[in-house]
Amino acid sequence: MRTLDLLVLAVYFTALAGIGWWVGHGGKDDSERDLLVGDRQIPWWAVLLSVLGSEISALTFVGVPAFAYTGNWTYLQVTLGAIGGRYLVGRYFVPAFYRHNVISIYEFLLRRYGPWTRNVAVLVFLFARVLMSGVRLGAGALIVHLALGIPVNTAIFLVALVGLVFCAVGGVRAVVWTEVLQVTVMLIGACSALLVLFFGTRGVTVPPGAMQVVDLTWDPSLEFTLWAALLGTTLTNAAIFGTDYDMVQRMLTAKNSRQSGRAVIGSALAEVPIISLFLSIGTLLRLFYQAHPDPNLPASAKHIFGYFIITQLPAGLCGLLIAAVVSVLLSSYESALASLAGSFVVDLYRPFRPNRQPGHYLWVTRLATMGFATLLLAVAVLSGDVEEVLKLGLEIGTYFYGALLAVFALALMQSEKRLAGWDRWTALVAMPTAIALVLGVKLRGGLAFPWYVSIGALTAGALILIPRILFPPVSGNDIR
């Protein structure tokens, strides 16, 4: 990287640190509630950008251009499922969470099913989120590795350390507002790269079939078909945005359920142009290197965009693109740390250590943040050699979230009363059983991952509902 690139990066990180410090310390009450949900004072548009920052992640920056580089735009179909799934979340899940005034969404399960089901759900979330966010951390560090010329593992450690400082100091309020800057820089950087590629490929013809968007194939082994998007991806989005505390936490920072619902549904609509932007970059990268052959071009598609940024962009713009990559990488990493630590403390630690001073839980939250940072670092290092990093990052959560979706959905369908003992125990058994079945389907092969959430949700739902139908609970057993 040249001097001007390093200067751009220095200015960016200075601005990021200034925003994080000012937001994290200016006018906050330093309480656990402020640390985890920002006292519910974040405007909806900032929540929307924060959701985008967590969702887009480095997988989009690295994996989506690589997908289009191979001549395929069918990934764009997933935005249809995103809109449908997030409408369900904004319409049904978010109002319930606000109505019960929860800090962690798993408190909702506590009030419905009792502590054991809540604890299992929290452990499922923690395990799944560590794997998903660790893969994202490893993917984004690839471009940092290329930009700075340092080993991949060193790049992972460097990004993890910076993100840990921001998250541990400022909590979710700092995470949301720094994500606003990060998403803005990401969009500016990606649009700049698109313009450079556009002018560098004028006169080059797009090969036939290089931009196929709709795939009507009824083949359950294919990940990105129209049917997988409309059915499988809709439920997957409902599961992730309705039961994953990493995604729901920033929704709970909005002032009320209406603004929160507006943010989550708006994030799905914003996905369409953003995914199109990165797919366009991938297609233009293919055309660019057809017109300008490079003997040093990486063999792996996931390295192509990073290689282009380092070797083709002018000084200053290269630094801006590196800042954009670091932006989305830090955004998803910080939000994962905040949600993991928050759920651990609120749902697992505090019930076993009640009636402590607020400052005690605040410091435990920060210690938990450092612990989860170590776990994410380990997963990132182990996933570094995976070629299809986009599919891996998307697939991991589908093993687990179908079970969570069923438990949350059935709780939402009940009255405001706490469920009877029979329902609480069947829910406890249903989650690990459904996850085991999905993993079995995965090992057997032949079915694409967008369908895994549907299988998990149907299995868990049946295990809860069938005993309830066969042995209806006595109304007197329902307790508030």
Confidence of residue 461 (pLDDT cuts 50, 70, 90): very high
Q: 220 phi and psi, to 5 degrees?
A: -65, -10
From residue 429, give the alpha-carbon distance in Å to each of 130, 151, 291, 409.
Answer: 23, 44, 58, 16
Length of the chain: 480
Residue 76's identity, in one-letter code, is L
User: For residues 249 and 404, which has the higher predicted lDDT (pLDDT)?
Assistant: 404
| Averaged pLDDT for residues 461-465 | 90
Contact 147, 308 (CB under 8 A): no
User: For residues 264 and 360, which has the higher predicted lDDT (pLDDT)?
Assistant: 264
Strands (E), 105-257: none
Contacts of 278 (CB under 8 A, 6+ apart): 60, 61, 64, 65, 68, 190
Confidence of residue 39 (pLDDT cuts 50, 70, 90): low
CA-CA distance, 432 to 441, in Å (whole number)?
14
DSSP 90: I
- CB atoms under 10 Å from CB of 291, counted, come to 12
Contacts of 288 (CB under 8 A, 6+ apart): 197, 200, 201, 204, 308, 312
User: For residues 329 and 227, which has the higher predicted lDDT (pLDDT)?
Assistant: 227
pLDDT over threshold 80, residue 444: yes
User: For residues 403 and 135, which has the higher predicted lDDT (pLDDT)?
Assistant: 403
Task: Quickly tell me which residue has 């395990």 as its tokens.
Answer: 127
Within 13 A of 423's CA, how many CA atoms are on the CB side? Answer: 27
CA-CA distance, 246 to 57, in Å (whole number)?
13
CA-CA distance, 70 to 91, in Å (whole number)?
38
Q: 42 phi and psi, to 5 degrees?
A: -90, 130
Instruction: Calculate the CA 384 to chain-centre distance.
Output: 18
Confidence of residue 310 (pLDDT cuts 50, 70, 90): confident
> Residue 136's pLDDT is what?
82
| Averaged pLDDT for residues 401-410 | 93
Lowest mean per-residue pLDDT among 58-67, 290-299, 340-349, 387-396: 387-396
pLDDT over threshold 60, residue 417: no
Homologous superfamily of 3-388 in CATH? Sodium/glucose cotransporter (1.20.1730.10)
Task: Quickly tell me which residue has 């001007």 as its tokens.
Answer: 4
Which residue blocks in 201-233 are alpha helix, DSSP H? 226-227
Rounded to 5°, the CA angle 162-165-169 comes to 155
Instruction: Calculate the CA 75 to chain-centre distance.
Output: 17
> Residue 90's pLDDT is what?
93
Average pLDDT, whole number, for the chain? 84
pLDDT over threshold 50, residue 480: no
* Residue 328 structure tokens: 């989305």
Task: Quickly tell me which residue has 């990180």 as its tokens.
Answer: 13
CA-CA distance, 265 to 162, in Å (whole number)?
30
- CB atoms under 10 Å from CB of 460, counted, come to 29
pLDDT over threshold 90, residue 355: no
- Domain positions in the chain are 3-388
The percentage of the chain sitting over the pLDDT mark of 90, rounded to a whole number, equals 33
The reported pTM is 0.84
From residue 261, give the alpha-carbon distance in Å to each of 89, 252, 265, 373.
Answer: 8, 10, 6, 30
Confidence of residue 474 (pLDDT cuts 50, 70, 90): low
Within 13 A of 158's CA, how many CA atoms are on the CB side? Answer: 16
